[in-house]
């Protein structure tokens, strides 16, 4: 386990480095972007004087490096901002304040996270069930007509951009059949039943897309383990096929699936932009696109860092999970 | 990066390229798979359509950018006049709502952009990915760490954000398709690089590379002679899956309004403007969606076929000779 | 008398492949009495495993076509229903597979795996009872501290322990027949001897029958009553073990027996007196990072002279390959010094070449063998294209391959042929020293003999020096002038071959020599008894 | 045209009670009266903030009149309309029962000058004496001297120039009272103190979800405008446009009592709804004063040549533009710069009659005269976001129309922010681009002055006088009209001015957009004024 701890620590350090580079990249990018955040924050009819005032207010007059240093300081030590009549404190992992509306970026992120989490976690559960199930089935029926059918179906799922799947699902379930409400995000805390009903279509869209990938991965991984010697051992000892597959083959096939799940979940926590846009889910991805458009640097940096954090974290978790699940893998 | 993760997942890379087939054999095995063959046929057909777009449009007698105010009903929000989205002898596949532009002409012209961007972006991704992956796999620890972390950053970048930002930075005069190729290519090589690095690392430890070193071959020669041919298999497989994902990405960017510039038609752009019309004029959605679907399907089938054809398990194995004490090490 | 334990009649097995069908077993018949022990030997691909698998009906669902009849413990294997077959598998007949690492599920504790199998055949047994049984059989096969070790997972066991665990799994259900498919091929000689001893003891104790599949004639000698020699899916010869090995009737069997390297029969070799080509002084090599650092080679000193053969023996993991790679410059030593008088140092030293252990991974599958051999010549850049091709053809011919095979790819060759290609490649730059890393371990005895003969010829003709790495003491004996015995990264014994083999000084060398299987069944039995006595007194 | 404007009040008598749901796209991120920039005090904010004056909450053209709110009348000007005096009504209270004073109104206005609270309209800064230098109450404790509050009920504004439109400006939320003791600076928006019929009881996720309940201290007797039928108003924002329209059209459950204040029906949705009688009956139509047009910069060749501008004016095909914006029910072809509403001073004219689909022959002729017999190539700058009125749909429609006249149009589509930056910079402004202009209040002044007043050319900020017209005659006429406090008389002169400027072909008016919005089944008393063009949440009832 010490090996594992050290490995985890090393990955963590690398992750921090990656995040730092990410934030620098975003800052750098924003300096070359056309458009003036102060102008965008102030509104089109602001006078030049007003824009200048706002620019000072936002600290955009400072040299680029000073701004970045200020950002880092806020991140590690927190920062204060004037509300006019007093000051507002923004505690230690402070990502700054939105240019657009002066809100703390951390609280903005916290507001968006539940929607994204609802979308990703639900979709994940669904695609794991559909994907792994299909994968196992087609591995078992290897070479048969069932496998070919399943392969065709999964290929098809994999082949369509998510917003088309979404539209087709809406057409079918909302317009033609009328079984489902037109999706509209309702927070879980507000009404769990409505929350689930409204998320069914977004979940399905993502799950159809993703489960295709998982089915393919599970299938090939399963075929690998099914041809492994230890599976043969249990067969040779009269263990039932069901238990050979369920206990031994599936178990061996799972590590890559786990690894991929962690990675996908990471990416998805960064916001499934297209899905969120299509279904109007107020998640991280949607606000990311919005804030890039309004050049709301603090929000963009915050979102990119959160996304990056989840992706890098998921990468590391995937590797650790993989190593734990399969001790044969040497941690490198 | 999704497919890359699958391919680059530890363990998946461990397949030593034993008995891997050469190009001739590859084609023979590919030919044996009906799905892959169908994929190839569809791709060839689509490429032909793209190349002959002006010819096909001329045959129909339509210009992809010409408006036909009379073909749509202004009072009804601009839905095409006539059934199935305004299908007629003049407009073989109907017209675009709101503008009355000819759909057939736009679809065939759109093939140029969609396929062109899909293929070209893949080339950029593969070239960059192979270069970085090889360098990381062959370089010393420092270089490897540097490049691997860079790859991590690439994979962690929210592609869309940077695509939006990059598209905003570049002067408006820059040809948009080229720009899209560059954006997709420059932001999307992480997966390839990871696969290539993993493969390089596992190949590097093989005895034939050691033999080449003993024979006096330098790094570059080893990379070229011993590694690249073996890397070709996973890279080709992966590229076949990259093409459709790039086509889908172009569609996605267009969906967010940052794809090719109007009036240039692309399937993605058509699809994105069609999304609001799916109830009032389903034909308008189904045409580009169907085409993208078929294309992506064809490439995926081809990719799968290549993967199967390259799978050492598909051929007869010479495992028996490798028995003996192999695998004895705990 | 009861009916025989195994009755195989006119067994044929066909495997459909992409290019037609392969007949793996062709009209094979044999039987084994209750409690009897049959050894099945033959070169690779002769159909031994296919036959063994057929006994348990393991070909079902694989697409193989099977003809004839197979009865095991009264069950007609080919026609039995699913249920009956499951009862046979493990319950009446159990199988031990070749590779002990991959034959166990890496994710489950060993005890649990045994318990699972036990409960399949004793559905009424509680989980607890099954676990108890697992500990019991693990203890029986000599796993010390079985209750604790039962909770270990396979990767925490050594190779020998894993093989014992597999045997324990077989024992758990008290089968009447044990089918062991090359159960010791993956193990070191000392461990191999222990396992074979264990099998012998269990037979005596439980009276179960044994079918032992192996390509190693030495292994069958002391372990079975009867031998069946197979070639190309047919039985060549069958009879009591002493008769077949001592006085083989068929020419094929005779060749096979003759090809087995023997400890006692070393050709007299001229003493090496040439110039010193290579000298290692206290060479050391460590792997891993802080905390997990291990010394694979730990202070090795040796000298290789022109025209000499230095044999290096030692069990798996003792550092032989690491040493060999350092000698040719593929690995940098972390300590000590390597002197290569008259040669540049570092990889690509033309004077030093290597033949690799694994014929599969040592040739680039995507390049023709001619190109692979030509590569060092091209890199050198001295010869023009035509001259290079001519030289490669000459080399191919020299190692006994058809020069017209220049454009063939590795997968079109057999293991022995590939090893010859590897030798040709090593010869191409006209080296003065070749390090051969287990060049014959992966080969059949007959092919093994051919390759050894080839190396000997080349050495004589070209005045080559060889460092011959092997785990097989007999093979080393045949070719070496000097021998170094390695253990845990150190050389424990180093000297002229004759001296080391006839009068070993180190306990470890003595143990190794004692564990080498011999062809004579009586001798074999005597040695086993001696080993057991030794154990009894020390343990 | 205005003839079809305004929906009839839906069936049944409106009654008090129930909850009204508002489904919107944009969250009410700014709920601070100083930061809001909405015409006529806004819709949802208008429920919480009362201002000195307010818009007349009636259907159609009547709705573009200004009426008193907190004040007893729409203001008393001095002779040249530079000093405006207001008196408060009796019995005005905040949600906590304390009395509303003119000092609070003064403080509210002063807050809007603070850089911390940026975002509001610029007029006060331009009009109030000393406004340019004032930094807001946080930095400048002394206050703004040009606003006097001789007593708690009187407030006097001193302007630096005559402004007959001042009563219309006084409808903006910056005229809402803010009690200084309750001011929390940038945090005030979380719980602004209500002076209107509803108070904020919940504000989640920065205006994404608002719950408003009756303010018991609001006295209907002091407020003739707001009906305030529902007991509760629940505003849910951050929804996708399609979601909103879909929910309104199915109208199940709570959605039966729902309306939207920011989501139009799209062409595709309209196409579907038109076929459904029940749905079509639940569509409200509104006209907000807005014009989409082509803008020329005569400083850039070849647009310095009036003939070229005229040729383009003749060549445009307004029918394809209308179609691009959703067809004839969502856009009306425009030939005047002023919106087609009396309050703006609409005077019909068509300086360069292009007919329904363009007069290519006339255009070619003009081009030949201008020295381009073989046609010419120009670049049209537009916003690259799809679905925008200045977006690619309109640009490509124009491209196709001009092609017929021998004008090759290259398109330069820019990201929204880059596009605004470029077209509003005096130095970066392209020669030929798409633009749009909306009214801050229904009057010709704010419509024409920023666009054509030479003194409003901004050198180092956002400039809206894109033609960079600095015509003394025009400037003088604008000053003259501003002096008029009779808004009707002023309107007539604005109309005449529009016609006069129109003849110079500095812009090509394309369309006036029309708003079509769905409302729920249970929604009654639908009022859509021409001032806002959208359903007034203060008037609807759900019982
Ligand atoms: N599944 C299979 N498909 C096709 N051919 C097979 C298959 N299994 C075995 N064979 C072929 O059948 C023949 C006999 O194989 P078998 O495994 O029984 O040999 P063996 O005597 O056990 O050899 P070894 O000593 O290498 O284990 C070989 O030619 C082999 O290539
Ligand atoms: N690249 C490496 N990294 C880490 N450890 C290594 C490496 N190569 C070898 N070792 C370790 O060094 C020790 C000696 O290995 P080596 O390959 O030299 O043994 P060997 O005697 O050749 O064994 P075998 O007979 O199995 O080939 C082993 O414990 C092995 O695990
Ligand atoms: Mg075998
Ligand atoms: Mg070795
Ligand atoms: Ni991915």
Question: Can you give the pLDDT at residue C539?
Answer: 41
Average pLDDT over residues C486-502: 89
- Give C181 Cα–ligand 4 centroid separation in angstroms: 24
User: Do residues B214 and B283 both lie within one domain?
Assistant: yes
Strand, helix or coil at B111?
helix
- Position with higher pLDDT, D99 vs D461: D99
Ligand 1 atom closest to Cα of C16?
A: 4
User: Do residues B80 and B189 both lie within one domain?
Assistant: no
Residue C539 lies in a domain: no
Interface contact B2-A260, CB threshold 8 A: yes
User: Is residue A233 predicted with pLDDT exceeding 50?
Assistant: yes
Nearest CA distance, A77 vs chain D (angstrom): 22
Element (H, E) at C94: strand C93-96
Average pLDDT over residues C82-99: 85
Instruction: Tell me the pLDDT band of B214, cut-offs 50, 70 and 90.
Output: confident
Residue B151 lies in a domain: yes
User: Do residues B240 and B317 both lie within one domain?
Assistant: yes
**Ligand number, closest to the Cα atom of C181:** 3
User: Is residue C288 predicted with pLDDT exceeding 80?
Assistant: no
Chain B residues touching D274 at Cβ < 8 A: 75-77
B76-127: per-residue pLDDT in tens? Answer: 888 888 877 778 778 888 888 888 889 899 999 999 988 999 899 999 999 9
**Ligand number, closest to the Cα atom of C312:** 2
Question: Can you give the pLDDT at residue B206?
Answer: 79
Interface contact A39-D117, CB threshold 8 A: no
In this complex, which of D274, D320, D324 lies closest to B76 when CB atoms are compared? D274
Average pLDDT over residues A252-271: 74
For residue A320, the number of C-alpha atoms closer than 13 Å in the C-beta half-sphere is 19
* Nearest residue by C-alpha to atom 24 in ligand 1: C44
User: Do residues B250 and B311 both lie within one domain?
Assistant: yes
Question: Can you give the pLDDT at residue D7?
Answer: 44
User: Do residues B228 and B265 both lie within one domain?
Assistant: yes
User: Do residues B134 and B272 both lie within one domain?
Assistant: yes
A110-148: per-residue pLDDT in tens? Answer: 888 888 888 888 998 998 898 888 888 877 776 667 767
- The mean pLDDT of chain C is 84
Residue B171 lies in a domain: yes
Interface contact C45-B320, CB threshold 8 A: yes
User: Is residue A9 predicted with pLDDT exceeding 70?
Assistant: yes
User: Do residues C17 and C67 both lie within one domain?
Assistant: yes
Question: Which range (B311-320, D380-389, D397-406) has the least confidence?
Answer: B311-320
User: Do residues C339 and C436 both lie within one domain?
Assistant: yes
CA distances from C508 to C315, C513, C514 (A): 11, 9, 10
Per the structure, the complete domain to which residue C497 belongs is given by: 269-343+432-506
Instruction: Tell me the pLDDT band of B288, cut-offs 50, 70 and 90.
Output: confident
| CB D31, CB D200: distance < 8 Å | yes
Average pLDDT over residues C127-146: 89
Residue C275 lies in a domain: yes
Average pLDDT over residues C20-28: 85
Question: Can you give the pLDDT at residue C268?
Answer: 54
Instruction: Tell me the pLDDT band of D19, cut-offs 50, 70 and 90.
Output: very high
Interface contact B152-A259, CB threshold 8 A: no
Nearest CA distance, A270 vs chain D (angstrom): 19
User: Do residues C84 and C186 both lie within one domain?
Assistant: yes
The set of protein residues with a Cβ atom below 6 angstroms from ligand 2 is B 328-329; C 287-288, 296, 314, 316-322, 471
Residue C536 lies in a domain: no
Structural domain count of chain C: 4
In this complex, which of B6, B149, B293 lies closest to A159 when CB atoms are compared? B293
Instruction: Tell me the pLDDT band of D68, cut-offs 50, 70 and 90.
Output: very high
Residue C357 lies in a domain: no
Instruction: Tell me the pLDDT band of C349, cut-offs 50, 70 and 90.
Output: low
d(CA A171, CA D194): 44
Chain B residues touching A277 at Cβ < 8 A: 255-256
* Nearest residue by C-alpha to atom 28 in ligand 2: C317
C167-224: per-residue pLDDT in tens? Answer: 889 888 888 899 998 888 767 788 888 888 888 888 888 888 999 998 888 888 878 8
Beta strands A79-82 and C209-214: pairing type? Answer: unpaired
Instruction: Tell me the pLDDT band of D211, cut-offs 50, 70 and 90.
Output: very high
User: Do residues B76 and B215 both lie within one domain?
Assistant: no
Chain C residues touching B229 at Cβ < 8 A: 364, 366-367
Question: Can you give the pLDDT at residue B3?
Answer: 36
Instruction: Tell me the pLDDT band of D480, cut-offs 50, 70 and 90.
Output: very high
**What domains, with CATH codes, occur in chain A?**
38-94 (no CATH), 111-331 (1.10.3720.10)
Mutate which of C16, C18, C43, C45 for ligand 1? The one with the most ligand atoms within 8 Å of its CB, which is: C45
B244-275: per-residue pLDDT in tens? Answer: 778 878 877 877 777 788 788 888 888 877 87
User: Do residues B196 and B265 both lie within one domain?
Assistant: yes
Interface contact A240-C103, CB threshold 8 A: no
Chain A residues touching C108 at Cβ < 8 A: 247-248, 251
Chain C residues touching A230 at Cβ < 8 A: 102-106
Question: Can you give the pLDDT at residue D2?
Answer: 36
User: Is residue C98 predicted with pLDDT exceeding 80?
Assistant: no
d(CA A288, CA D104): 39
CATH code where residue C60 lies = 3.40.50.300
Chains near B, with 3+ CB pairs < 8 A?
A, C, D
User: Do residues B188 and B96 both lie within one domain?
Assistant: no
Nearest CA distance, C374 vs chain A (angstrom): 36
Q: Is C108 in the pocket of ligand 1 (CB under 6 A)?
A: no
> DSSP assignment, residue D20?
E
Question: Can you give the pLDDT at residue C342?
Answer: 58
Q: Which two tokens stand for residue C267?
A: 């050709």
Residue B35 lies in a domain: no
d(CA C96, CA C98): 7
User: Do residues C22 and C83 both lie within one domain?
Assistant: yes
Residue C355 lies in a domain: no
pTM metric for this prediction = 0.76
C386-420: per-residue pLDDT in tens? Answer: 899 999 999 898 888 888 888 888 877 777 788 88
Residue B36 lies in a domain: no
D512-539: per-residue pLDDT in tens? Answer: 999 999 999 999 999 999 898 889 999 9
User: Do residues B79 and B144 both lie within one domain?
Assistant: no
- Position with higher pLDDT, B219 vs C69: C69
- Position with higher pLDDT, C535 vs D424: D424
Question: Can you give the pLDDT at residue D142?
Answer: 85
Taking a contact as any Cβ pair under 8 Å apart, which residues of chain C between 276 and 295 contact chain A? Answer: 291-292
* Nearest residue by C-alpha to atom 26 in ligand 2: C316
Q: Closest Cα partner for D8 from D284, D236, D250, D203?
A: D284
User: Do residues C336 and C366 both lie within one domain?
Assistant: no
Average pLDDT over residues C428-435: 88
Residue C162 lies in a domain: yes
User: Do residues C140 and C110 both lie within one domain?
Assistant: yes
User: Do residues B125 and B75 both lie within one domain?
Assistant: no
Residue C530 lies in a domain: no
Checking phi first, is residue D509 left (phi over 0); if not, alpha (psi -120 to 50) or beta?
beta
User: Is residue B318 predicted with pLDDT exceeding 50?
Assistant: no
Interface contact A57-D115, CB threshold 8 A: yes
Interface contact B165-A29, CB threshold 8 A: yes
Question: Can you give the pLDDT at residue A81?
Answer: 74
Residue B208 lies in a domain: yes
In this complex, which of B98, B167, B262 lies closest to D267 when CB atoms are compared? B98
B101, B119, B146 — which closes off a domain?
A: B101
Ligand 2 atom closest to Cα of C285?
A: 12
**pLDDT over 70, % of chain D:** 98
Per the structure, the complete domain to which residue B97 belongs is given by: 69-101
- For tokens 């798409």, what's the residue? D434
Structural domain count of chain B: 2
d(CA C105, CA C155): 10
**Ligand number, closest to the Cα atom of B325:** 2
Residue B87 lies in a domain: yes
CATH code where residue B190 lies = 1.10.3720.10
Question: Can you give the pLDDT at residue D231?
Answer: 95
ipTM: 0.73
Instruction: Tell me the pLDDT band of A31, cut-offs 50, 70 and 90.
Output: confident
Average pLDDT over residues D151-171: 93
Question: Can you give the pLDDT at residue C2?
Answer: 64
D102-126: per-residue pLDDT in tens? Answer: 999 999 999 999 888 877 888 888 8
User: Do residues C289 and C153 both lie within one domain?
Assistant: no
- Position with higher pLDDT, C295 vs A101: C295
Q: Closest Cα partner for A203 from A130, A310, A109, A303?
A: A130
- The mean pLDDT of chain A is 78
Average pLDDT over residues D326-345: 91
Instruction: Tell me the pLDDT band of A328, cut-offs 50, 70 and 90.
Output: very low
Question: Can you give the pLDDT at residue C291?
Answer: 60
User: Do residues C381 and C483 both lie within one domain?
Assistant: no
C431, C453, C481 — which closes off a domain?
A: C431
- The mean pLDDT of chain D is 89
| CB C199, CB C178: distance < 8 Å | yes
C237, C260, C283 — which closes off a domain?
A: C260
**pLDDT over 70, % of chain B:** 84
Interface contact A183-D243, CB threshold 8 A: yes
Nearest CA distance, B40 vs chain C (angstrom): 23
Residue B192 lies in a domain: yes
Residue C253 lies in a domain: yes
Instruction: Tell me the pLDDT band of B176, cut-offs 50, 70 and 90.
Output: confident
Question: Can you give the pLDDT at residue D498?
Answer: 94
C236, C260, C284 — which closes off a domain?
A: C260
For chains C and D, having 3+ Cβ pairs within 8 Å is answered: no
User: Do residues C289 and C236 both lie within one domain?
Assistant: no
Chains near A, with 3+ CB pairs < 8 A?
B, C, D
B6-36: per-residue pLDDT in tens? Answer: 333 333 333 333 344 556 667 777 777 777 8
By the CB < 8 Å criterion, does B75 face chain D? yes
- Give C50 Cα–ligand 1 centroid separation in angstroms: 6
User: Do residues C190 and C322 both lie within one domain?
Assistant: no
Interface contact D396-B65, CB threshold 8 A: yes
User: Do residues C387 and C324 both lie within one domain?
Assistant: no
User: Do residues B229 and B275 both lie within one domain?
Assistant: yes
Interface contact B157-A304, CB threshold 8 A: yes
Strand, helix or coil at B147?
helix
- Give A251 Cα–ligand 1 centroid separation in angstroms: 28
Chain C residues touching A325 at Cβ < 8 A: 107
User: Do residues C287 and C214 both lie within one domain?
Assistant: no
């Amino acid at each position: 386990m010490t090996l594992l701890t050290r490995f985890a620590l090393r990955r963590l350090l690398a992750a921090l480095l990656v995040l730092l580079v990410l934030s620098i990249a975003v800052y750098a990018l924003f300096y070359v972007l056309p458009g003036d955040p102060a102008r965008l924050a102030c509104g089109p009819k602001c006078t030049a004087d007003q824009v200048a005032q706002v620019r000072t207010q936002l600290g955009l007059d400072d040299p680029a490096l000073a701004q970045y240093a200020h950002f880092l300081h806020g991140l590690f030590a927190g920062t204060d901002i004037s509300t006019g009549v007093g000051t507002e404190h923004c505690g230690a992992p402070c990502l700054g304040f939105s240019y657009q509306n002066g809100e703390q970026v951390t609280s903005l992120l916290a507001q968006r996270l539940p929607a994204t989490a609802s979308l990703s976690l639900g979709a994940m559960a669904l695609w794991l069930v559909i994907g792994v199930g299909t994968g196992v089935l087609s591995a078992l029926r290897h070479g048969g007509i069932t496998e070919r059918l399943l392969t065709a179906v999964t290929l098809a799922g994999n082949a369509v951009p998510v917003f088309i799947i979404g539209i087709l699902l809406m057409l079918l379930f909302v317009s033609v059949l009328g079984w489902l409400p037109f999706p509209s995000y309702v927070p879980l805390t507000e009404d769990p039943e409505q929350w689930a009903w409204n998320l069914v279509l977004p979940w399905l869209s993502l799950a159809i897309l993703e489960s295709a990938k998982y089915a393919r991965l599970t299938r090939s991984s399963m075929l690998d383990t099914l041809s492994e010697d230890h599976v043969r051992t249990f067969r040779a000892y009269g263990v039932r096929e069901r238990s050979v597959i369920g206990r031994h083959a599936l178990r061996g096939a799972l590590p890559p699936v786990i690894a991929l799940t962690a990675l996908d979940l990471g990416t998805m926590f960064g916001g499934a932009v297209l899905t969120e846009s299509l279904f109007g889910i107020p998640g991280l991805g949607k606000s990311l696109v919005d804030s890039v458009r309004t050049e709301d640097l603090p929000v963009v940096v915050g979102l990119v860092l959160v996304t990056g954090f989840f992706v890098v974290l998921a990468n590391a978790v995937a590797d650790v999970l993989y190593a734990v699940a399969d001790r044969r893998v040497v941690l490198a | 990066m999704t497919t890359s993760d699958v391919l680059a997942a530890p363990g998946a890379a461990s397949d030593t390229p034993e008995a891997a087939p050469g190009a001739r054999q590859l084609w023979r095995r590919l030919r044996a798979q009906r799905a892959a063959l169908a994929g190839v046929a569809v791709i060839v057909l689509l490429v032909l359509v793209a190349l002959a777009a002006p010819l096909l449009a001329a045959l129909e007698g339509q210009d992809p950018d010409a408006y036909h105010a009379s073909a749509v009903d202004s009072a009804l929000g601009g839905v095409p006049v006539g059934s199935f989205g305004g299908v007629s002898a003049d407009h073989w596949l109907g017209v675009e709502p709101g503008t009355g532009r000819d759909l057939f002409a736009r679809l065939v012209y759109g093939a140029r952009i969609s396929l062109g961007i899909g293929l070209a972006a893949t080339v950029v991704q593969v070239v960059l990915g192979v270069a970085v992956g090889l360098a990381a796999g062959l370089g010393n620890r420092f270089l490897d760490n540097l490049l691997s972390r860079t790859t991590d950053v690439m994979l962690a970048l929210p592609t869309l954000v940077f695509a939006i930002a990059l598209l905003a930075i570049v002067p408006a005069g820059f040809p948009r398709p080229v720009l899209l190729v560059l954006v997709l290519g420059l932001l999307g090589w992480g997966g390839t690089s990871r696969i290539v690095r993993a493969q390089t690392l596992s190949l590097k430890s093989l005895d034939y590379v050691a033999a080449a070193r003993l024979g006096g071959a330098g790094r570059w020669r080893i990379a070229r002679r011993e590694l690249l041919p073996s890397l070709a298999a996973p890279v080709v497989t992966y590229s076949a899956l990259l093409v459709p994902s790039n086509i889908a990405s172009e569609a996605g960017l267009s969906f967010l309004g940052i794809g090719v510039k109007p009036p240039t038609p692309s399937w993605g752009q058509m699809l994105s403007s069609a999304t609001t019309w799916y109830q009032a004029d389903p034909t308008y959605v189904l045409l580009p969606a169907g085409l993208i679907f078929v294309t992506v399907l064809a490439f995926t089938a081809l990719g799968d076929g290549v993967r199967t054809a390259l799978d050492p398990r598909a051929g007869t194995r010479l495992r028996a000779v490798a028995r003996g004490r192999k695998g004895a090490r705990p | 008398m009861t009916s025989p334990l195994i009755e195989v009649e006119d067994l044929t097995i066909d495997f459909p492949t992409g290019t037609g069908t392969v007949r793996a077993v062709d009209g094979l018949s044999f039987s084994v009495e209750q409690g009897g022990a049959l050894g099945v030997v033959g070169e690779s691909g002769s159909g031994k495993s296919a036959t063994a698998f057929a006994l348990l009906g393991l070909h079902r669902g694989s697409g193989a076509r099977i003809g004839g009849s197979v009865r095991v413990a009264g069950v007609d294997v080919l026609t039995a229903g699913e249920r009956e077959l499951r009862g046979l598998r493990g319950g009446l007949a159990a199988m031990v597979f070749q590779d002990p690492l991959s034959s166990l599920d890496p994710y489950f504790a060993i005890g649990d795996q045994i318990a699972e199998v036990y409960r399949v055949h004793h559905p009424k047994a509680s989980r607890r009872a099954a676990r108890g049984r697992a500990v019991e059989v693990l203890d029986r096969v000599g796993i010390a501290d079985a209750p604790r070790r039962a909770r270990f997972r396979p990767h925490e066991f050594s190779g020998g322990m894993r093989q014992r665990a597999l045997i324990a799994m077989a024992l758990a259900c008290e089968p009447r027949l044990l089918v062991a498919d090359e159960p010791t091929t993956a193990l070191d000689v000392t461990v191999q001897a222990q396992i074979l001893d264990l099998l012998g003891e269990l037979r005596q104790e439980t009276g179960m029958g044994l079918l032992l599949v192996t390509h190693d004639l030495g292994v069958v000698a002391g372990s079975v009553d009867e031998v069946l020699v197979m070639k190309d899916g047919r039985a060549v010869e069958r009879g009591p073990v002493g008769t077949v090995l001592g006085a083989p009737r068929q020419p094929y069997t005779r060749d096979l027996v003759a090809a087995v390297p023997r400890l006692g029969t070393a050709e007299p070799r001229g003493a090496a007196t040439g110039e010193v080509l290579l000298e290692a002084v206290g060479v050391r090599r460590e792997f891993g990072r802080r905390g997990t650092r291990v010394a694979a080679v730990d202070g090795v000193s040796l000298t290789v002279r022109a025209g000499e053969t230095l044999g290096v023996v030692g069990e798996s993991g003792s550092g032989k390959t690491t040493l060999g790679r350092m000698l040719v410059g593929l690995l940098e030593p972390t300590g000590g010094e390597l002197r290569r008088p008259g040669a540049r140092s570092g990889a690509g030293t033309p004077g030093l070449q290597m033949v690799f252990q694994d014929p599969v991974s040592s040739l680039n599958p995507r390049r023709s063998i001619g190109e692979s051999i030509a590569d060092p010549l091209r890199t050198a850049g001295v010869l023009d294209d035509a001259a290079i091709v001519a030289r490669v053809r000459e080399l191919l011919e020299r190692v006994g391959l058809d020069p017209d095979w220049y454009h063939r790819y590795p997968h079109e060759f057999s293991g022995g042929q590939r090893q010859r290609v590897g030798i040709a490649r090593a010869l191409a730059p006209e080296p003065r020293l070749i390090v051969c890393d287990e060049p014959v371990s992966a080969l059949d005895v007959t092919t093994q003999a051919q390759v050894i003969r080839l190396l000997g010829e080349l050495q004589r003709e070209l005045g080559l020096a060889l460092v011959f790495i092997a785990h097989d003491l007999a093979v080393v004996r045949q070719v070496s002038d000097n021998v170094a015995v390695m253990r845990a990264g150190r050389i424990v014994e180093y000297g002229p071959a004759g001296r080391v083999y006839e009068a070993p000084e180190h306990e470890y060398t003595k143990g190794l020599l004692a564990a080498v299987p011999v062809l004579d069944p009586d001798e074999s039995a005597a040695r086993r008894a001696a080993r057991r006595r030794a154990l009894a007194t020390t343990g | 045209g205005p003839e079809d404007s305004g929906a009839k009040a839906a069936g049944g008598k409106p009654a008090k009670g129930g909850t009204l749901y508002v489904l919107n796209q944009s969250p009410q991120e700014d709920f601070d009266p100083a930061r809001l920039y909405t015409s006529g005090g806004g819709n949802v904010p208008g429920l919480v903030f009362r201002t000195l004056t307010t818009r007349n909450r009636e259907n159609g053209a009547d709705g573009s009149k200004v009426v008193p709110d907190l004040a007893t009348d729409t203001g008393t000007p001095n002779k040249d309309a530079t000093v405006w005096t207001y008196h408060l009504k009796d019995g005005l209270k905040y949600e906590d029962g304390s009395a509303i004073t003119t000092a609070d109104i003064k403080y509210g206005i002063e807050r809007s000058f603070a850089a911390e609270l940026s975002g509001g309209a610029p007029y006060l800064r331009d009009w109030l004496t000393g406004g340019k230098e004032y930094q807001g109450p946080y930095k400048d404790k002394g206050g703004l001297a040009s606003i006097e509050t001789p007593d708690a009920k009187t407030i006097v504004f001193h302007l630096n120039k005559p402004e007959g439109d001042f009563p219309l400006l006084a409808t903006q939320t910056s005229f809402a009272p803010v009690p200084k003791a309750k001011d929390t600076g940038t945090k005030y928006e979380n719980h602004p103190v209500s002076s209107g019929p509803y108070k904020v009881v919940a504000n989640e996720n920065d205006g994404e979800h608002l719950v408003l309940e009756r303010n018991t201290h609001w006295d209907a007797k002091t407020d003739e405008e707001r009906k305030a039928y529902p007991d509760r108003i629940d505003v849910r924002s951050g929804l996708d446009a399609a979601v909103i329209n879909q929910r309104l059209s199915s109208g199940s459950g709570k959605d039966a009592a729902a309306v939207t204040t920011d989501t139009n029906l799209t062409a595709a949705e309209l196409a579907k709804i038109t076929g459904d009688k029940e749905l079509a009956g639940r569509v409200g139509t509104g006209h907000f004063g807005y014009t989409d047009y082509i803008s020329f910069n005569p400083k850039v060749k070849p647009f310095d040549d009036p003939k070229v501008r005229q040729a383009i004016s003749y060549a445009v095909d307004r029918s394809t533009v209308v179609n691009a914006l959703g067809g004839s029910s969502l856009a009306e072809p425009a030939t005047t710069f002023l919106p087609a509403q009396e309050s703006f001073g609409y005077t019909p004219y068509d300086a360069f009659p292009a007919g329904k689909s363009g007069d290519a022959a006339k255009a070619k002729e003009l081009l030949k005269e201008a020295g381009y017999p073989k046609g010419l190539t120009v670049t049209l700058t537009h916003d690259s976001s799809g679905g925008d009125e200045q977006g690619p749909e309109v640009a490509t429609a124009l491209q196709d129309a001009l092609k017929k006249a021998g004008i090759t149009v290259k398109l330069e589509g820019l990201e929204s922010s880059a596009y605004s930056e470029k077209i509003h910079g005096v130095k970066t402004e392209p020669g030929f681009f798409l633009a749009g202009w909306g009214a801050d209040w229904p009057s010709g002044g704010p419509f024409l002055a920023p666009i054509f007043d030479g003194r409003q050319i901004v050198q180092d900020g956002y400039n809206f006088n894109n033609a960079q017209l600095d015509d003394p005659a025009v400037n003088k006429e604008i000053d003259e009209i501003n002096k008029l406090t009779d808004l009707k008389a002023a309107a007539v002169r604005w109309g005449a001015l529009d016609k006069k400027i129109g003849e110079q072909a500095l812009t090509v008016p394309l369309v006036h957009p029309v708003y079509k919005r769905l409302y729920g089944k249970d929604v009654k008393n639908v009022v859509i004024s021409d001032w806002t063009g959208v359903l007034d949440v203060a008037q609807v009832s759900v019982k």
